Structure 1
Amino acid sequence: MIMLVDSHPDIIEFIISKMQNPRILRYLIENTEDEQIKKLAQEKLKFTPLTNTEEDLYQGILNYRSIPGQGGFTDAAIREAEEKSNTGGTYSVHNPDFLTGANISVCITKEFMEAVENDDHYDLRFPDVENYTEEEMKVYNDQWHEVGDVRQWEDMGYGVRVYRKIKAKELWRLINVCATYSAEPGIFYIDNANDMTNAKSYGQQVVATNPCGKVAKFASR
């Protein structure tokens, strides 16, 4: 199980890299307004042109579509021949085995959902380690894995860098389209989990969960 928070700078690449359905990648390319989503989907999508022999074969099938009995070809075969002839090739994906066997999920925060509801832009950000002093870097190496929340990290007084702004609804649409048609990423409302967990009484907070959301991982607050 691999989880990434909605504000992480790599969140878009994280989601698209696991996508194995070329139809969904084509849908994203044709419908998103976000250039990074479109670019990453294009890079993930693989197109193999038809050979001359394949073109002849598909055209041969299509020659029977208006003949009674369709030359014995099924409607499905005719439709596939039409699609392949129209597109001129076959779509698949690059790196189809990437993260095979690992589930991915996105931790959804209240700030992100508010941005979606208000149709606002949303900051993708992370600790500004490139500009940390030696002392700050030591603190980062020692404590970031326990904190893990860029909001809390900023409240602690450490620098945070905004890598880009994205229309929240575009990211939300990406998450939902991929989750609906490929079952990933999973969605975990981490702020809601922390609001309702009794772990707060013990000075702990939820930082992750298993794929089914049944077993939470806790860390000291």
Structure 2
Amino acid sequence: MIMLADWHPDIIEFIISKMQNPRILRYLIENTNDEAIKKYAQEKLKFTPLTQQEIDMYQGIVNYKQIPGTGGFSEKIIKDAELKLRTGGTYSVHNSEFLTGANISVTLTKDFMEAVENDAEYELRFPDVESYTQQEMNEYNEGWYKVGDVREWARLGYKVRTYRKIKAKELWNLINICATYSAEPGIFFIDNANDMTNAKAYGQQVVATNPCGKVA
């Protein structure tokens, strides 16, 4: 199980990384207003143009449609040939085997879900390590893995960088579309888990789960 927080700057690329359906990638490109979603979907999508021989073959099939009594091709084959000519090639995906041995999930925070409900923008953030002093970097190296939450890191007084803002509903729709048509990513309500876990009694918190603990 590989899990990434909804506030992480790489969350869009992470969600799209395992998409294996070129039709869904094209749908994302055509139906989102977010340029980052379009960018990563386009990078995942591979287009192979038809060869001249293929063009001639499909055109020959379509031509039969216009010659009464010739038969030979079903309506489905003719429509497929028309589609191939309109598209001009075939779509597939780059790195089709990427992460095939792992499940991926997104840890969803209450902050994110509130932004979705309010149709608000949501900040993708991470510790601003590029501006840290040597002392701050030492504290980051020693402490970040124990905290692991950019919200808590900011509350502790460390500098956090907002890499970009995204409409929360765009990210929410991306999660739902990919989960519907590829069964990934799963979702895990991390704040709810930490509110209810018995680990709090031991001064611990939930940071991830195995595949049985998420909602897919």
TM-score over 0.5 for the pair: yes
Cross-structure match for 1:219: none
Distance 1:213 1:68, change over 3 A: farther
Task: Write out per-residue CA displacement over residues 103-161 of structure 1, whole angstroms, 9 at most, x where no aligned residue.
Answer: 11100000000000000000000011111111111111112112111111111111111
Task: Write out per-residue CA displacement over residues 153-203 of structure 1, whole angstroms, 9 at most, x where no aligned residue.
Answer: 111111111100111011111111111111111111111111111111111
Q: Secondary structure at the match of 1:204?
A: coil
Cα offset, 1:68, TM superposition = 5.8
In structure 2, what is the Cα distance between the partners aligned to 1:126 and 1:11? 11
Cross-structure match for 1:153: 153
Q: Secondary structure at the match of 1:126?
A: strand
- After superposition, residues 42-191 of structure 1 pair within 5 angstroms as 42-65=42-65, 70-71=71-72, 73-191=73-191
- Structure 2 residues without counterparts, runs of 5 or longer: none
Sequence identity percentage? 76
1:211 aligns with 2:211: yes
In structure 1, what is the Cα distance between the partners aligned to 2:109 and 2:146? 18
In structure 2, what is the Cα distance between the partners aligned to 1:75 and 1:194? 57
The TM-score normalised by the length of structure 2 is 0.93
**Residues paired across the two proteins, number:** 213
The TM-score normalised by the length of structure 1 is 0.91
In structure 1, what is the Cα distance between the partners aligned to 2:175 and 2:130? 29
Q: Which of the two has greater strand per residue?
A: 1
In structure 2, what is the Cα distance between the partners aligned to 1:68 and 1:150? 70
1:38 aligns with 2:38: yes
In structure 2, what is the Cα distance between the partners aligned to 1:158 and 1:125? 12
Moved over 3 A (4+): 64-70, 73-76
In structure 1, what is the Cα distance between the partners aligned to 2:10 and 2:129? 15
- Structure 1 residues without counterparts, runs of 5 or longer: 215-221
